[in-house]
A and B are shown apart, each in its own frame.
Chain A
């Protein structure tokens, strides 16, 4: 069956360190992969999109890598801050991009 897996355990890191979140998928041929941030009680907010032919994408302190051979994406937040504490969702776009499948998310806590 088709699956997207994100680490269900919360990630706790110290302020200033780099947070690395993992997204693994099986049985998909994604057109592209996205990362979203979600705060409690709110809708997800788009962060980054990376296409199947791209290896890496950066935006300010954020970096995403995409390995279609390993079927894995890594999401990095450098110089993390307490304000980065949130749930981060990985999402794959398939079927011409109309249909997007979301992972369950990984909760990140950044301690001051």
Chain B
């Protein structure tokens, strides 16, 4: 069965902290994605990766970076967390069309 896991369900961090969100998929998918989801705005793409060590900016990459050292793992890094990065973060993977999502990490920055 397809599985995407995220390192935490809930996370509380302080302004200015460096934050790491990790995502692991067990489907050998080439493509992985990071989104944030805010009420009324839907899912917005932060970054995606179509191969190991390859990455592309999405619609809202500012304040974020990513790392993909292994095929199964895609990390999202908030270099210096700010309150406007409080959100639900969703990771997904895909091979061709449909995307498989993790359970999400609800991040609160205080």
Contacts and interface: CB of A to CB of B under 8 A. Distances in A.
Interface of A: 4, 8, 32, 34, 41-46, 49, 89, 91, 93, 97-105
Interface stretch (B11-19, B37-45, B67-75, B77-85): B37-45
B85 to A, nearest CB: 19
Which of A4, A43, A98, A104 has the most C-beta atoms of chain B within 10 angstroms of its own C-beta? A43
Contacts of B4: 43
Interface residues of B, number: 25
Contacts, number: 53
Given A91-B99, A101-B45, 13 more contacts: A8-B40, A34-B99, A41-B104, A44-B90, A46-B99, A49-B97, A89-B42, A89-B43, A98-B48, A100-B45, A102-B35, A102-B42, A104-B40
18 contacts: A32-B97, A34-B98, A43-B4, A43-B92, A43-B101, A43-B103, A44-B99, A45-B101, A46-B98, A91-B99, A93-B97, A98-B56, A99-B56, A99-B58, A101-B45, A102-B44, A104-B40, A105-B42
Interface in B10-65: 31, 33, 35, 40-45, 48, 50, 56, 58
Contacts of A99: 45, 48, 56, 58
A48 to B, nearest CB: 9
B88 to A, nearest CB: 9
A41 B88 CA distance: 9
Contacts of B40: 8, 104
Contacts of B104: 41-43
Contact of A44 (B44, B58, B101): B101
Task: Rank and list the top 4 A-B pairs by shortest CB-CB distance, nearest first.
Answer: A43-B101, A104-B42, A46-B98, A102-B43
Nearest to A49: B97
A42 B9 CA distance: 10
A12 B89 CA distance: 28
A41 B104 CA distance: 8
